[in-house]
Structure 1
Protein backbone atom coordinates (compact mmCIF):
# COMPACT_ATOMS: atom_id res chain seq x y z
CA UNK A 1 0.00 0.00 0.00
CA UNK A 2 1.43 3.38 -1.00
CA UNK A 3 2.11 5.98 1.68
CA UNK A 4 -0.59 8.62 2.02
CA UNK A 5 0.45 12.02 0.77
CA UNK A 6 0.35 14.98 3.12
CA UNK A 7 -0.05 18.70 2.54
CA UNK A 8 3.34 20.24 1.84
CA UNK A 9 2.58 23.62 3.44
CA UNK A 10 1.33 21.95 6.63
CA UNK A 11 4.41 19.73 6.80
CA UNK A 12 6.67 22.76 6.39
CA UNK A 13 4.87 24.57 9.19
CA UNK A 14 5.16 21.51 11.44
CA UNK A 15 8.86 21.24 10.62
CA UNK A 16 9.26 24.72 12.11
CA UNK A 17 7.57 23.67 15.35
CA UNK A 18 9.67 20.50 15.39
CA UNK A 19 12.82 22.63 15.74
CA UNK A 20 11.96 23.49 19.34
CA UNK A 21 13.35 21.10 21.95
CA UNK A 22 13.03 21.18 25.78
CA UNK A 23 16.40 22.95 26.03
CA UNK A 24 15.70 25.30 23.08
CA UNK A 25 13.12 27.86 24.12
CA UNK A 26 13.91 30.52 21.50
CA UNK A 27 15.22 30.40 17.94
CA UNK A 28 16.20 33.06 15.47
CA UNK A 29 15.02 33.10 11.87
CA UNK A 30 18.50 31.98 10.76
CA UNK A 31 18.50 29.07 13.24
CA UNK A 32 15.09 27.87 12.06
CA UNK A 33 16.26 28.09 8.45
CA UNK A 34 19.34 26.02 9.30
CA UNK A 35 17.27 23.36 11.10
CA UNK A 36 14.54 23.05 8.48
CA UNK A 37 16.38 23.84 5.25
CA UNK A 38 13.58 26.27 4.32
CA UNK A 39 14.11 29.71 2.84
CA UNK A 40 13.76 32.56 5.33
CA UNK A 41 10.98 34.09 3.22
CA UNK A 42 9.05 30.80 3.41
CA UNK A 43 9.52 30.61 7.17
CA UNK A 44 8.24 34.15 7.63
CA UNK A 45 5.10 33.44 5.60
CA UNK A 46 4.39 30.27 7.58
CA UNK A 47 5.17 32.02 10.85
CA UNK A 48 2.34 34.50 10.22
CA UNK A 49 -0.20 31.66 10.26
CA UNK A 50 1.47 29.91 13.19
CA UNK A 51 1.38 33.15 15.17
CA UNK A 52 -2.24 33.79 14.23
CA UNK A 53 -3.28 30.44 15.72
CA UNK A 54 -1.02 30.78 18.77
CA UNK A 55 1.56 28.14 17.89
CA UNK A 56 4.42 30.66 17.71
CA UNK A 57 5.22 33.94 19.43
CA UNK A 58 7.64 36.42 17.90
CA UNK A 59 9.71 38.23 20.51
CA UNK A 60 12.32 40.96 20.41
CA UNK A 61 14.96 40.75 17.72
CA UNK A 62 12.72 38.50 15.60
CA UNK A 63 13.32 35.54 17.84
CA UNK A 64 10.59 32.93 17.96
CA UNK A 65 9.29 30.77 20.79
CA UNK A 66 6.49 28.23 21.13
CA UNK A 67 3.10 29.83 21.73
CA UNK A 68 0.25 29.05 24.18
CA UNK A 69 -1.67 26.81 21.76
CA UNK A 70 1.14 24.28 21.77
CA UNK A 71 1.11 24.34 25.57
CA UNK A 72 -2.67 23.76 25.61
CA UNK A 73 -2.38 20.80 23.25
CA UNK A 74 0.48 19.40 25.34
CA UNK A 75 -1.66 19.67 28.48
CA UNK A 76 -4.48 17.81 26.73
CA UNK A 77 -2.04 15.11 25.66
CA UNK A 78 -0.73 14.68 29.21
CA UNK A 79 -4.25 14.24 30.56
CA UNK A 80 -5.13 11.60 27.98
CA UNK A 81 -1.73 9.87 27.91
CA UNK A 82 -1.84 6.08 27.96
CA UNK A 83 1.57 4.40 28.01
CA UNK A 84 0.25 1.11 26.64
CA UNK A 85 -1.44 2.85 23.71
CA UNK A 86 1.91 4.43 22.79
CA UNK A 87 4.22 1.47 23.43
CA UNK A 88 2.23 -1.45 21.98
CA UNK A 89 2.01 -0.23 18.34
CA UNK A 90 5.73 0.54 18.35
CA UNK A 91 6.55 -2.92 19.72
CA UNK A 92 4.43 -4.51 16.99
CA UNK A 93 6.24 -2.54 14.29
CA UNK A 94 9.66 -3.29 15.80
CA UNK A 95 8.86 -7.00 16.02
CA UNK A 96 7.71 -7.04 12.41
CA UNK A 97 10.81 -5.15 11.28
CA UNK A 98 13.23 -7.53 13.04
CA UNK A 99 11.12 -10.73 13.00
CA UNK A 100 12.08 -11.11 16.66
CA UNK A 101 10.39 -10.54 20.02
CA UNK A 102 10.12 -6.87 21.03
CA UNK A 103 9.63 -6.06 24.71
CA UNK A 104 9.37 -3.11 27.08
CA UNK A 105 10.73 -3.52 30.60
CA UNK A 106 10.50 -1.37 33.72
CA UNK A 107 12.61 -1.45 36.89
CA UNK A 108 10.98 -2.72 40.08
CA UNK A 109 13.49 -2.78 42.91
CA UNK A 110 16.15 -5.35 42.04
CA UNK A 111 14.08 -6.86 39.27
CA UNK A 112 12.89 -5.95 35.79
CA UNK A 113 9.31 -6.52 34.78
CA UNK A 114 8.15 -7.16 31.23
CA UNK A 115 5.37 -4.61 30.96
CA UNK A 116 4.54 -5.08 27.27
CA UNK A 117 5.76 -7.37 24.48
CA UNK A 118 5.02 -8.45 20.93
CA UNK A 119 6.21 -11.73 19.46
CA UNK A 120 6.74 -12.61 15.78
CA UNK A 121 4.77 -15.41 14.07
CA UNK A 122 7.89 -17.52 13.44
CA UNK A 123 7.90 -20.98 15.05
CA UNK A 124 11.18 -20.61 16.97
CA UNK A 125 11.16 -17.38 18.94
CA UNK A 126 11.91 -15.99 22.38
CA UNK A 127 8.67 -16.18 24.37
CA UNK A 128 8.27 -13.87 27.35
CA UNK A 129 5.08 -13.30 29.30
CA UNK A 130 3.87 -9.82 30.21
CA UNK A 131 4.17 -9.27 33.94
CA UNK A 132 7.05 -11.71 34.43
CA UNK A 133 9.73 -10.52 36.87
CA UNK A 134 13.38 -11.22 36.04
CA UNK A 135 16.71 -10.35 37.75
CA UNK A 136 18.25 -6.99 36.91
CA UNK A 137 21.72 -8.47 36.87
CA UNK A 138 21.14 -10.53 33.73
CA UNK A 139 20.19 -9.53 30.20
CA UNK A 140 20.52 -6.45 28.03
CA UNK A 141 17.41 -4.73 29.36
CA UNK A 142 18.59 -5.34 32.94
CA UNK A 143 21.88 -3.60 32.15
CA UNK A 144 20.05 -0.65 30.65
CA UNK A 145 17.68 -0.29 33.61
CA UNK A 146 20.53 -0.49 36.13
CA UNK A 147 22.82 1.95 34.35
CA UNK A 148 20.28 4.60 33.38
CA UNK A 149 18.57 4.54 36.77
CA UNK A 150 21.79 5.76 38.38
CA UNK A 151 21.80 9.44 39.21
CA UNK A 152 25.55 9.97 38.91
CA UNK A 153 26.58 10.14 35.26
CA UNK A 154 30.11 8.88 35.98
CA UNK A 155 29.12 6.15 38.40
CA UNK A 156 29.91 2.52 37.59
CA UNK A 157 32.36 0.47 35.56
CA UNK A 158 33.95 1.13 32.18
CA UNK A 159 31.25 -1.08 30.65
CA UNK A 160 28.58 1.07 32.33
CA UNK A 161 30.18 4.17 30.85
CA UNK A 162 30.27 2.60 27.39
CA UNK A 163 26.60 1.57 27.55
CA UNK A 164 25.59 4.99 28.83
CA UNK A 165 27.54 6.66 26.06
CA UNK A 166 26.16 4.61 23.16
CA UNK A 167 22.73 3.91 24.66
CA UNK A 168 22.86 0.23 23.70
CA UNK A 169 23.40 -2.94 25.73
CA UNK A 170 23.86 -6.43 24.24
CA UNK A 171 23.60 -9.76 26.04
CA UNK A 172 24.53 -13.11 24.52
CA UNK A 173 23.25 -16.12 26.44
CA UNK A 174 23.38 -14.47 29.87
CA UNK A 175 20.04 -15.55 31.34
CA UNK A 176 19.31 -18.28 28.80
CA UNK A 177 22.24 -19.78 26.87
CA UNK A 178 20.13 -19.91 23.69
CA UNK A 179 18.84 -16.32 23.82
CA UNK A 180 20.43 -13.00 22.84
CA UNK A 181 19.02 -9.52 23.35
CA UNK A 182 19.73 -5.90 22.49
CA UNK A 183 18.21 -3.06 24.52
CA UNK A 184 18.11 0.72 24.70
CA UNK A 185 16.68 3.13 27.31
CA UNK A 186 13.50 5.13 26.89
CA UNK A 187 13.78 8.45 28.71
CA UNK A 188 11.12 11.02 29.55
CA UNK A 189 11.23 14.63 28.38
CA UNK A 190 12.82 15.51 31.73
CA UNK A 191 15.56 12.90 31.25
CA UNK A 192 14.22 10.35 33.72
CA UNK A 193 14.23 6.64 32.96
CA UNK A 194 10.86 5.31 31.74
CA UNK A 195 11.94 1.81 30.76
CA UNK A 196 14.01 -0.34 28.42
CA UNK A 197 13.10 -1.25 24.85
CA UNK A 198 14.51 -4.62 23.82
CA UNK A 199 14.68 -7.08 20.93
CA UNK A 200 15.39 -10.72 21.77
CA UNK A 201 15.63 -14.02 19.95
CA UNK A 202 17.67 -17.10 19.20
CA UNK A 203 21.36 -16.40 19.79
CA UNK A 204 22.34 -17.86 16.41
CA UNK A 205 20.32 -15.10 14.70
CA UNK A 206 22.20 -12.33 16.51
CA UNK A 207 25.47 -12.25 14.57
CA UNK A 208 27.46 -9.01 14.10
CA UNK A 209 25.55 -7.90 10.98
CA UNK A 210 22.17 -8.49 12.60
CA UNK A 211 23.30 -6.78 15.78
CA UNK A 212 24.20 -3.69 13.78
CA UNK A 213 20.89 -3.76 11.90
CA UNK A 214 18.82 -4.15 15.06
CA UNK A 215 20.83 -1.50 16.91
CA UNK A 216 19.95 1.02 14.21
CA UNK A 217 16.27 0.05 14.40
CA UNK A 218 16.22 0.27 18.20
CA UNK A 219 17.70 3.76 18.12
CA UNK A 220 15.10 4.84 15.56
CA UNK A 221 12.25 3.48 17.67
CA UNK A 222 13.73 5.01 20.82
CA UNK A 223 13.75 8.42 19.14
CA UNK A 224 10.15 8.01 18.02
CA UNK A 225 8.93 6.84 21.46
CA UNK A 226 10.70 9.58 23.39
CA UNK A 227 8.86 12.17 21.30
CA UNK A 228 5.54 10.61 22.32
CA UNK A 229 6.11 9.80 25.99
CA UNK A 230 5.19 12.51 28.48
CA UNK A 231 5.88 11.69 32.12
Structure 2
Protein backbone atom coordinates (compact mmCIF):
# COMPACT_ATOMS: atom_id res chain seq x y z
CA UNK A 1 0.00 0.00 0.00
CA UNK A 2 1.31 3.47 -0.88
CA UNK A 3 2.11 5.66 2.14
CA UNK A 4 0.12 8.51 0.59
CA UNK A 5 -3.06 6.45 0.83
CA UNK A 6 -2.85 6.05 4.59
CA UNK A 7 -4.34 3.17 6.56
CA UNK A 8 -7.96 2.50 5.71
CA UNK A 9 -8.91 1.06 9.10
CA UNK A 10 -7.45 4.08 10.90
CA UNK A 11 -9.26 6.48 8.59
CA UNK A 12 -12.54 4.67 9.20
CA UNK A 13 -12.05 4.86 12.97
CA UNK A 14 -11.22 8.56 12.75
CA UNK A 15 -14.30 9.18 10.61
CA UNK A 16 -16.38 7.79 13.49
CA UNK A 17 -14.79 10.23 15.94
CA UNK A 18 -15.30 13.04 13.46
CA UNK A 19 -19.08 12.54 13.59
CA UNK A 20 -19.38 14.13 17.02
CA UNK A 21 -20.18 17.83 17.35
CA UNK A 22 -20.99 20.20 20.18
CA UNK A 23 -24.68 19.75 19.34
CA UNK A 24 -24.27 16.00 18.72
CA UNK A 25 -22.52 14.66 21.79
CA UNK A 26 -24.25 11.28 21.68
CA UNK A 27 -25.01 9.35 18.50
CA UNK A 28 -26.82 6.15 17.65
CA UNK A 29 -25.32 3.41 15.52
CA UNK A 30 -27.69 4.37 12.70
CA UNK A 31 -26.64 8.04 12.86
CA UNK A 32 -22.94 7.17 12.68
CA UNK A 33 -23.58 4.79 9.79
CA UNK A 34 -25.50 7.46 7.88
CA UNK A 35 -22.81 10.10 8.45
CA UNK A 36 -19.78 7.92 7.68
CA UNK A 37 -21.27 5.61 5.07
CA UNK A 38 -19.85 2.63 6.99
CA UNK A 39 -21.72 -0.60 7.60
CA UNK A 40 -23.05 -0.99 11.12
CA UNK A 41 -21.00 -4.16 11.54
CA UNK A 42 -17.83 -2.21 10.66
CA UNK A 43 -18.70 0.54 13.15
CA UNK A 44 -19.29 -2.01 15.90
CA UNK A 45 -15.97 -3.72 15.16
CA UNK A 46 -14.02 -0.45 15.15
CA UNK A 47 -15.99 0.69 18.17
CA UNK A 48 -14.55 -2.16 20.23
CA UNK A 49 -11.01 -0.81 19.70
CA UNK A 50 -12.04 2.82 20.21
CA UNK A 51 -13.78 1.89 23.44
CA UNK A 52 -10.80 -0.19 24.60
CA UNK A 53 -8.53 2.85 24.35
CA UNK A 54 -11.06 5.24 25.86
CA UNK A 55 -11.95 7.23 22.75
CA UNK A 56 -15.63 6.36 22.82
CA UNK A 57 -18.06 5.16 25.46
CA UNK A 58 -20.87 2.88 24.43
CA UNK A 59 -24.10 3.05 26.38
CA UNK A 60 -27.20 0.89 26.33
CA UNK A 61 -29.06 0.82 23.05
CA UNK A 62 -25.86 1.06 20.97
CA UNK A 63 -25.43 4.79 21.53
CA UNK A 64 -21.95 6.28 21.51
CA UNK A 65 -20.30 9.35 23.00
CA UNK A 66 -16.70 10.53 23.17
CA UNK A 67 -14.56 9.08 25.94
CA UNK A 68 -11.90 10.62 28.23
CA UNK A 69 -9.00 9.87 25.87
CA UNK A 70 -10.46 12.27 23.30
CA UNK A 71 -10.63 14.98 25.97
CA UNK A 72 -7.06 14.20 27.05
CA UNK A 73 -5.69 14.70 23.54
CA UNK A 74 -7.58 17.98 23.26
CA UNK A 75 -6.07 19.14 26.54
CA UNK A 76 -2.56 18.28 25.34
CA UNK A 77 -3.18 20.18 22.11
CA UNK A 78 -4.29 23.29 24.00
CA UNK A 79 -1.43 23.05 26.49
CA UNK A 80 1.03 23.03 23.60
CA UNK A 81 0.44 26.73 23.07
CA UNK A 82 2.88 29.07 24.81
CA UNK A 83 0.91 31.05 27.40
CA UNK A 84 2.37 34.27 26.05
CA UNK A 85 0.59 33.72 22.73
CA UNK A 86 -2.68 33.85 24.64
CA UNK A 87 -1.79 36.61 27.08
CA UNK A 88 -0.24 39.27 24.88
CA UNK A 89 -3.22 39.83 22.57
CA UNK A 90 -5.61 39.64 25.52
CA UNK A 91 -3.61 42.20 27.51
CA UNK A 92 -3.64 44.53 24.52
CA UNK A 93 -7.39 44.09 24.22
CA UNK A 94 -7.87 44.75 27.93
CA UNK A 95 -5.68 47.85 27.84
CA UNK A 96 -7.61 49.22 24.88
CA UNK A 97 -10.92 48.54 26.63
CA UNK A 98 -9.94 50.30 29.86
CA UNK A 99 -7.45 52.88 28.54
CA UNK A 100 -5.12 51.76 31.34
CA UNK A 101 -2.13 49.44 31.75
CA UNK A 102 -2.94 45.73 31.65
CA UNK A 103 -0.47 43.25 33.12
CA UNK A 104 -0.06 39.63 34.16
CA UNK A 105 1.71 38.65 37.39
CA UNK A 106 2.89 35.35 38.82
CA UNK A 107 4.02 34.48 42.31
CA UNK A 108 7.67 33.76 42.99
CA UNK A 109 8.16 33.01 46.68
CA UNK A 110 7.25 36.17 48.59
CA UNK A 111 7.33 38.38 45.51
CA UNK A 112 5.21 38.93 42.44
CA UNK A 113 6.73 39.15 38.99
CA UNK A 114 5.28 41.08 36.06
CA UNK A 115 5.61 38.62 33.19
CA UNK A 116 3.69 40.51 30.51
CA UNK A 117 2.14 43.95 30.18
CA UNK A 118 0.45 46.18 27.64
CA UNK A 119 0.30 49.95 28.09
CA UNK A 120 -2.30 52.33 26.66
CA UNK A 121 -1.54 55.04 24.14
CA UNK A 122 -1.82 58.02 26.44
CA UNK A 123 0.73 60.53 27.69
CA UNK A 124 0.32 59.79 31.41
CA UNK A 125 0.07 56.12 32.34
CA UNK A 126 1.28 53.57 34.86
CA UNK A 127 4.45 52.11 33.35
CA UNK A 128 5.70 48.67 34.41
CA UNK A 129 8.77 46.79 33.20
CA UNK A 130 8.28 43.14 32.30
CA UNK A 131 10.30 40.97 34.66
CA UNK A 132 10.04 43.46 37.51
CA UNK A 133 9.73 42.00 41.02
CA UNK A 134 7.44 43.67 43.57
CA UNK A 135 6.20 42.92 47.10
CA UNK A 136 3.57 40.21 47.24
CA UNK A 137 1.67 41.69 50.16
CA UNK A 138 1.06 45.09 48.52
CA UNK A 139 -1.16 45.81 45.54
CA UNK A 140 -4.21 44.17 43.98
CA UNK A 141 -2.31 41.54 42.01
CA UNK A 142 -0.29 40.54 45.08
CA UNK A 143 -3.42 40.13 47.18
CA UNK A 144 -5.04 37.99 44.48
CA UNK A 145 -1.94 35.79 44.26
CA UNK A 146 -1.95 35.39 48.04
CA UNK A 147 -5.67 34.75 48.29
CA UNK A 148 -5.74 32.05 45.64
CA UNK A 149 -2.57 30.31 46.87
CA UNK A 150 -4.56 28.39 49.52
CA UNK A 151 -4.21 31.30 51.91
CA UNK A 152 -6.89 31.16 54.61
CA UNK A 153 -6.12 34.47 56.35
CA UNK A 154 -9.18 36.59 57.04
CA UNK A 155 -8.28 39.38 54.63
CA UNK A 156 -7.46 36.96 51.83
CA UNK A 157 -10.68 35.00 52.34
CA UNK A 158 -12.62 38.13 51.43
CA UNK A 159 -10.68 38.42 48.17
CA UNK A 160 -11.44 34.78 47.37
CA UNK A 161 -15.15 35.30 48.01
CA UNK A 162 -15.32 38.45 45.87
CA UNK A 163 -13.13 37.00 43.13
CA UNK A 164 -11.08 40.17 42.71
CA UNK A 165 -8.98 42.71 44.61
CA UNK A 166 -8.87 46.50 44.46
CA UNK A 167 -5.94 48.52 45.75
CA UNK A 168 -5.82 52.28 46.10
CA UNK A 169 -2.33 53.64 46.68
CA UNK A 170 -1.04 50.57 48.55
CA UNK A 171 2.38 50.22 46.94
CA UNK A 172 2.52 53.63 45.30
CA UNK A 173 0.33 56.44 46.58
CA UNK A 174 -0.33 57.62 43.03
CA UNK A 175 -1.37 54.23 41.61
CA UNK A 176 -4.56 52.18 41.85
CA UNK A 177 -5.16 48.69 40.51
CA UNK A 178 -7.75 45.94 40.19
CA UNK A 179 -6.91 42.26 39.67
CA UNK A 180 -8.57 38.88 39.09
CA UNK A 181 -7.06 35.37 39.20
CA UNK A 182 -6.32 33.17 36.21
CA UNK A 183 -7.05 29.57 37.16
CA UNK A 184 -6.92 26.15 35.53
CA UNK A 185 -10.20 24.17 35.22
CA UNK A 186 -9.42 22.45 38.54
CA UNK A 187 -8.86 25.78 40.31
CA UNK A 188 -5.05 25.81 40.32
CA UNK A 189 -3.69 29.37 40.35
CA UNK A 190 -1.62 30.41 37.35
CA UNK A 191 -1.37 34.16 37.82
CA UNK A 192 -3.16 37.46 38.28
CA UNK A 193 -4.61 39.62 35.51
CA UNK A 194 -4.40 43.29 36.46
CA UNK A 195 -5.47 46.74 35.31
CA UNK A 196 -3.57 49.64 36.86
CA UNK A 197 -3.43 53.40 36.42
CA UNK A 198 -3.31 56.75 38.13
CA UNK A 199 -5.36 56.79 41.31
CA UNK A 200 -7.08 59.99 40.18
CA UNK A 201 -8.61 58.06 37.27
CA UNK A 202 -9.78 55.12 39.41
CA UNK A 203 -12.87 56.95 40.61
CA UNK A 204 -15.76 54.85 42.03
CA UNK A 205 -17.76 55.14 38.80
CA UNK A 206 -14.86 53.49 36.90
CA UNK A 207 -14.61 50.42 39.16
CA UNK A 208 -17.52 48.48 37.66
CA UNK A 209 -16.51 48.99 33.98
CA UNK A 210 -12.91 47.98 34.75
CA UNK A 211 -14.06 44.88 36.63
CA UNK A 212 -16.37 43.95 33.76
CA UNK A 213 -13.50 44.22 31.27
CA UNK A 214 -11.22 42.21 33.57
CA UNK A 215 -13.75 39.43 33.99
CA UNK A 216 -14.35 39.25 30.25
CA UNK A 217 -10.61 38.86 29.64
CA UNK A 218 -10.37 36.38 32.51
CA UNK A 219 -13.09 34.21 31.01
CA UNK A 220 -11.61 34.28 27.51
CA UNK A 221 -8.20 33.24 28.83
CA UNK A 222 -9.49 30.52 31.15
CA UNK A 223 -11.57 29.05 28.33
CA UNK A 224 -8.31 28.40 26.47
CA UNK A 225 -6.29 27.01 29.37
CA UNK A 226 -6.15 23.34 30.37
CA UNK A 227 -4.45 21.60 33.29
Whole-Å Cα distance in 1 between the matches of residues 122 and 56 of structure 2? 49
- Relative to the length of structure 2, the TM-score reads 0.72
Is 2:191 the partner of 1:211?
no
Whole-Å Cα distance in 2 between the matches of residues 62 and 207 of structure 1? 61
**Aligned residues of 1:81 and 1:230 also touching (Cα < 8 A):** no
**Aligned residues of 1:94 and 1:217 also touching (Cα < 8 A):** yes
**Aligned residues of 1:170 and 1:183 also touching (Cα < 8 A):** yes
**What is the CA-CA distance between 1:223 and the residue it aligns to?**
1.3
1:116-127 equivalent positions in 2, closer than 5 A: 116-127=116-127
**What is the CA-CA distance between 1:218 and the residue it aligns to?**
1.0
**How many pairs align?**
187
Aligned to 2:74: 73
CA deviation profile, 1:116-149 (whole Å, cap 9, x unmatched): 0000111110000000000011100000001111
**What is the CA-CA distance between 1:205 and the residue it aligns to?**
1.1
**What is the CA-CA distance between 1:73 and the residue it aligns to?**
2.9
Aligned to 1:190: 186
1:63/1:174 CA distance change after superposition, 3 Å: farther
Q: Which runs of 4+ in 1 moved over 2 A?
A: 13-17, 52-78
Whole-Å Cα distance in 2 between the matches of residues 114 and 175 of structure 1? 14
Structure whose alpha-carbon radius of gyration is higher: 2
**Aligned residues of 1:101 and 1:118 also touching (Cα < 8 A):** yes
1:227/1:162 CA distance change after superposition, 3 Å: same
Whole-Å Cα distance in 1 between the matches of residues 171 and 77 of structure 2? 42
5+ residue gaps, structure 1: 1-12, 18-42
**Aligned residues of 2:100 and 2:195 also touching (Cα < 8 A):** yes
Aligned to 1:33: none
Whole-Å Cα distance in 1 between the matches of residues 59 and 178 of structure 2? 45
Aligned to 1:92: 92
5+ residue gaps, structure 2: 1-20, 37-49
1:58-69 equivalent positions in 2, closer than 5 A: 59-60=59-60, 66-67=66-67, 68-69=69-70
- Relative to the length of structure 1, the TM-score reads 0.71
Whole-Å Cα distance in 1 between the matches of residues 123 and 198 of structure 2? 11
**What is the CA-CA distance between 1:65 and the residue it aligns to?**
5.2
**Aligned residues of 1:183 and 1:198 also touching (Cα < 8 A):** yes
